Structure 1
Amino acid sequence: MRSKTPSVTPELQQKLIQIHDRLCEAYGCPIPYFHSLDPLSELVSALLSHRTKNADSDRAFKRLKAKFSTWEAVRDASEKEIEDAIASCTWADQKAIRLKQILQQITEQRGELSIDFLADLSVEEARNWLESFPGIGRKTSAAVLAFSNLRRRALPVDSHHHRVAIRLGLIPETTAVAPAHDVLEAQLPSEWTAQQVYDNHEVLMLHGQRCCFYRNPNCDRCVVLSLCPYGQARLG
């Protein structure tokens, strides 16, 4: 069972809102969704993207779609055929095995290869169902619900988002990526829409990519410097 998320103080939530507003002004919210895949396609895409550069996982996804006419065809293909199609991914051999297993398990559970039924569940019910499969964690379940055409209110946290959140003091430095999902999601105002939750992920991620770099972050041009204990300490 997932551990209970810590309570959120009004001060911390207000800081999150201030950060969100400044970053939204800098990066232009609302941010358009980058694609509109059905939930199963988004799941496949998310599984391929694990520890892989976006360009490489995108290429693997497109090759998989070009080689196989349906996800049923992928499910029924050999692991070697799948591996060859997704060769641009890291750990293509392991991902081929996992992908085939998950597609088979969905079919066994649902009687068909579709997860459109997630639209009828609450976000937490949908995430719990997805995470019942080996290899699907908080980031993948959130990505399926938020990025697919379901457009649900779920917050993915990638490595950039995670790094920026730590530096801003939104989460302790010791918080790993997986538990950070629940901690950061608990900070979001309950009245925020799915678009606002998506924007929050996107602006924190973009800030990590364009300003708050892993090495040598550009703290002197950071729009949230006054809210960032890491940046203030770094600049003295």
Structure 2
Amino acid sequence: MPISSAHTRPSPRSRFDPTSSDEADRLSAKALEIHRHLCGVYGCPIAYFHDLDPLSELVSSLLSHRTRNADSGRAFKALRARWPDWERVMDADPAEIEATIHGVTWPELKAPRIRAVLSAIAETRGALSLDFLAGLSVDAARNWLEAIPGVGPKTSAAVLSFSTLRMPALPVDSHHHRVAQRTGLIGARTDVGPSHAILRAQLPDDWSAQALYDNHEVLMLHGQHVCHHRNPACGRCVLLSLCPTGRAREPAANLTVS
């Protein structure tokens, strides 16, 4: 299925801005303060965990949806061991792909999706490569990727940020999203998809790929290690003074943050 060129990304500042410029400025300042505190805890800059070409990163990201990193990593390695290149994965029997990636969540859905995504790229570009994205702006590259059925904002941002493209895009995973909600950077009803544009708009336009990667990583790490889905450790959270959720849970805590 060819990729539609009519797919366009709405401007995050026009579609997702808070209701007033004062509120937008307040949230931007808060986002920077959160970034500063978390970088102090987790250490920035953070080394990139992948060095994959963008097509391989796309497959890795598709495998990782709702799946633990260790499990998706094993599935990715199994795919590479079973088939020497992505062209052969594209032509493989979906049942074989499913069996190869059985350790991920929903392998029965991910196997045909990976084939379909690879086929869409090959049909549109005439070759299985995403290296051309390096010549596009971040918004244009994300628009192109998200025009592929099955590729959403998290996957498109991950391809640009995590791969060897090293482009300034901000992925948002479930941990990152949870911390952003609890600290009030986004609304309680804001889903992960729309949160990408909101959270990116709160950060400086000229931030580098490394700075945006650091922002994603520190919020993700904080969600994993402190701001748990159940029973967040608010009493030892460096963001407690900035977090309305934490203050409500720990009203007697010392709210001084150095």
Q: Same fold (TM over 0.5)?
A: yes
1:215 offset after TM fit, Å?
Answer: 1.1
1:175-220 per-position Cα deviation (integer Å, ceiling 9, x unaligned): 0110001110110111211101000000000000011111111111
User: What value does the CA root-mean-square deviation take over the aligned residues?
Assistant: 1.1
In the alignment, what sits opposite 1:219?
234
Question: Are residues 1:5 and 2:20 paired?
Answer: no
The one of 4, 29, 35 equivalent to 2:44 is 29
**Runs of 5+ consecutive residues of structure 1 not aligned to the other structure:** none
1:14 aligned partner, one-letter code: A
CA distance in 2, matches of 1:224, 1:215: 17
Q: Give TM-score, length-normalised by structure 2.
A: 0.89
Higher mean C-alpha deviation, range 158-167 or range 84-93: 84-93
CA distance in 2, matches of 1:224, 1:169: 12
In the alignment, what sits opposite 2:96?
81
Paired residues of 2:226 and 2:232 also in contact (CA < 8 A): yes
1:101 offset after TM fit, Å?
Answer: 1.0
Higher mean C-alpha deviation, range 1-10 or range 194-203: 1-10
1:73-117 per-position Cα deviation (integer Å, ceiling 9, x unaligned): 111111111111111111111111111111111111111110100
Give matches, 1:161-172, under 5 Å.
161-172=176-187
1:195 aligned partner, one-letter code: Q
In the alignment, what sits opposite 1:144?
159
CA distance in 1, matches of 2:96, 2:122: 20
CA distance in 2, matches of 1:132, 1:226: 41
CA distance in 2, matches of 1:212, 1:96: 33
1:21-78 per-position Cα deviation (integer Å, ceiling 9, x unaligned): 0100100000000011000000000001111111111110000000000011111111
1:2 offset after TM fit, Å?
Answer: 5.0
In the alignment, what sits opposite 1:190?
205
1:6 aligned partner, one-letter code: D
Matched position secondary structure for 2:151: coil
CA distance in 2, matches of 1:168, 1:142: 22
The one of 91, 103, 108 equivalent to 2:123 is 108
1:5 offset after TM fit, Å?
Answer: 2.1
Moved over 2 A (4+): none
Paired residues of 2:9 and 2:143 also in contact (CA < 8 A): no
The one of 133, 139, 142 equivalent to 2:148 is 133
Matched residue count: 236
1:217 aligned partner, one-letter code: P
Higher mean C-alpha deviation, range 78-87 or range 134-143: 78-87
Q: What's the % identity of the aligned pairs?
A: 61
CA distance in 2, matches of 1:217, 1:30: 25
Question: Are residues 1:39 and 2:54 paired?
Answer: yes
Paired residues of 2:9 and 2:139 also in contact (CA < 8 A): no
1:51 aligned partner, one-letter code: R
Matched position secondary structure for 2:150: coil
In the alignment, what sits opposite 1:14?
29
In the alignment, what sits opposite 1:93?
108
CA distance in 2, matches of 1:5, 1:167: 18
Q: Give TM-score, length-normalised by structure 1.
A: 0.97
Give matches, 1:117-132, under 5 Å.
117-132=132-147
